[in-house]
Amino acid sequence: MATLRELVELARAVVDGAVEQLRERGGPDVEQQLAYDLAHGASAIETARASLAYAEFGESERAIVAAFLAIALSDLHQRVLGREDRWGVEQSWFSPFAAFVAAQRQPTVIAELAESPGDPHLGEDFAMVREHFRRFADEQIRPHAEAVHRTNGDIPESVIDGLRDLGGFGLSIPTMYGGDAVGGASEYLAMVVATEELSRASLGIGGSLITRPEILTRALLAGGTEEQKARWLPRVANASVLAAIAVTEPDYGSDVANLTTAATRTTGGWLLNGTKTWCTFAARADVLVVLARTDPDRTLAHRGMSLFLVEKDRGDSHGFVQRDDRDGKLEGRPIDTIGYRGMHSYEVSFDNWFVPDDHLVGGEAGLGRGFYFQMAGFENGRIQTAARAVGVMQAAYDAALEFARTRRVFGAPIIDYELTRAKLGAMAAVIQCSRQFALAVAKLMGDGAGSTEASMAKAYVCRAAEWVTREAMQIHGGMGYAEEYPVSRYFVDARVLSIFEGADETLCLKVVARRLLERT
């Protein structure tokens, strides 16, 4: 039987061939279904490829990666089935993988992993980071998580203060600006590890707390003037300034290039007019990071946009209205959601809201470059979102395993049943390999690469989180549908992961598929 690496390379060859088919058929705009399936199939195989190094740690680690590769290949087979002509393969294309998948998909094989999720092998330094953030999450976040979710409450200030004291807001901010980042892969790895642990306690009031500061930080590092970095980054690091991101608009969603919110010049600055939606954390935030059109020529698309730092007062989470000294108006209307509570999302309207000249990111040199600065932030946000998904999955698995050990049905604990063990085994493999992919991408980003892989990680891992949390909920049976058990929260929280930070369909068609075309 072929080795894991040989099978991964064979699968990548199938993907590469499909990329050429996509190119010949006119690209993602013409062949959307092929592009979408290709993006997800490629992302799953890339997850397996990134996990190959993990398989070298020992037999149990190899078993986890082998199980995951079989899952990824099965998913690829399902996507190709009946569409072989579009993928450019023969009906027999799966033959080289069949024996391996048949062996690894045996319920008895998968069930062996049910209680063996594997050591992440982080190394001493990052294991310590993991322990620090896990302890904080268990002691300071988890006790509030259910109450905030059920009441749609606010994030306790004690959580924000504690995370500040732990250095959570300065993970990617260079030491010269008051943060803890020293450059290279370490800062990305620390961010991924910390985000997973915070999200394991709560997506809404844990892992997501550091996402917006991370996006702002990366945007400033990519395009801010030295004066802007010196002014804003220390305040982000010490949490005296908390940020919200205002990019999405009601009529355009993830179609960033066609946004209409406009900034027009006035004496000493700019006047903002327009509406943003899904602006998470907008009420509590001290500054909004706003992408606005500064050139009225719509044919310029994203090249006519600039990025602004819009200061505001802290508002009421149930809605806020503020006016500036020029009678400009800023209004936030809360959007109720089924999960991801605590952060709160808003529709935010700007009516002649004044923004000083020095709040234009990059100054005059930043005019028309806001889209690129924002994307620098979003790329970091995507790998962080993958880490958030891993944290939610891990929480769901932990809950399901504990429940399975104690719940008795037909005279035995349900952990003793093959079906339960097979579910848990598959969950364990998916979680560990998703984690390894996120860690591998963090290392790439530390070397100035990994942009494509970050998008692939978000695409695969966030969809995987929906499946893992569903299975965890199912293992709980009727109790899984009751708010009495946190697994119901994990399920509804996981659903948002494929929507925010770039909706799944847009991410696959406009980013992953296009990057695959550029790669070959």
DSSP code, position 179? S
Query: Per this entry, what is the length of the chain?
Result: 520
Judge contact between 38 and 15, C-beta under 8 A.
Answer: yes
Contacts of 465 (CB under 8 A, 6+ apart): 389, 390, 392, 393, 494, 497
Contacts of 424 (CB under 8 A, 6+ apart): 111, 113, 114, 115, 397, 400, 401, 404, 415, 475
Q: Positive or negative, the Cα torsion across 388, 54, 131, 405?
A: positive
Token code pair at residue 366: 């930043």
Q: Would you call 379 a catalytic residue per the annotation?
A: no
**CA proximity to 489, closest of 279, 333, 342:** 342
DSSP code, position 181? B
Q: Residues 426-455, buried b or exposed e (16+ Cβ, 10 A)?
A: bbbbbbbbbbbbbbbbbbbbbeeebbbbbb
Q: Position of tokens 């990111």?
A: 361
List Cα–Cα distances, 206 to 134, 145, 157, 282, 479, in angstroms: 11, 9, 12, 16, 24
Catalytic annotation, pick one of 249, 379, 453, 501? 501
Judge contact between 214 and 172, C-beta under 8 A.
Answer: yes
**CA proximity to 181, closest of 134, 151, 221, 146:** 221
Q: Which residues are catalytic?
A: 501
